[in-house]
Amino acid sequence: MDIIFLRGLQIDTIIGIYEWEREIKQTVILDLEMAADIRQAATTDSIENTLDYKAVSKRVISFVESSSFYLVETLAEKTAEIILSEFSVPWLKLTLNKKGAIRGASDVGIIIERGSLPK
């Protein structure tokens, strides 16, 4: 199986459990790895035969920007559900980084995998 990836997708959203976090937008950074079979796209050289990562990124940006979750876990899970269902992705690894959430740590966040890799 092939992997199509997006790394470093920065999106501003309302995320956090503290009152001050509910009043401002913070930047989250998403890395996505998505299973896809690219053989037909490589043969036809046609975007219709592959996972359109621009369409995925536009949908994810739209969703995350308009969301307002308390937990990064919820944001990650809901984002994964959208990608899996709307883009027929069989497997996804999503890293959500809430940079700067912990003083002294360069990164903090969550990594989830959903679905299964086709054989």
Query: Where along the chain do its domains lie?
Result: 2-115
- Contacts with 89 (C-beta within 8 Å, 6 or more apart), sequence order: 34, 35, 36, 51, 83, 115
Give 13's pLDDT tier (boundaries 50, 70, 90): very high
pLDDT band at residue 117 under the 50/70/90 scheme: confident
Please tell me which residue in 25, 58, 78, 98 is annotated as part of the active site.
Answer: 98
Q: Which two tokens stand for residue 89?
A: 């992705």
Q: Does residue 99 carry a catalytic annotation? A: no
How does pLDDT run across 60-116, given as a tens digit for each residue?
999 999 999 999 999 999 999 999 999 999 999 999 999 877 788 888 999 999 998
CATH topology of domain 2-115: GTP Cyclohydrolase I, domain 2 (3.30.1130)
Nearest to 100 by CA among 40, 46, 39, 21: 21
- Full-model pTM: 0.93
Whether 119 has a pLDDT exceeding 80, the answer reads no
As a whole number of angstroms, the distance between CA 37 and CA 98 comes to 31
Q: What is the pLDDT of residue 103?
A: 85
Nearest to 109 by CA among 118, 58, 99: 99
Alpha carbons 92 and 117: distance in angstroms, whole number = 9
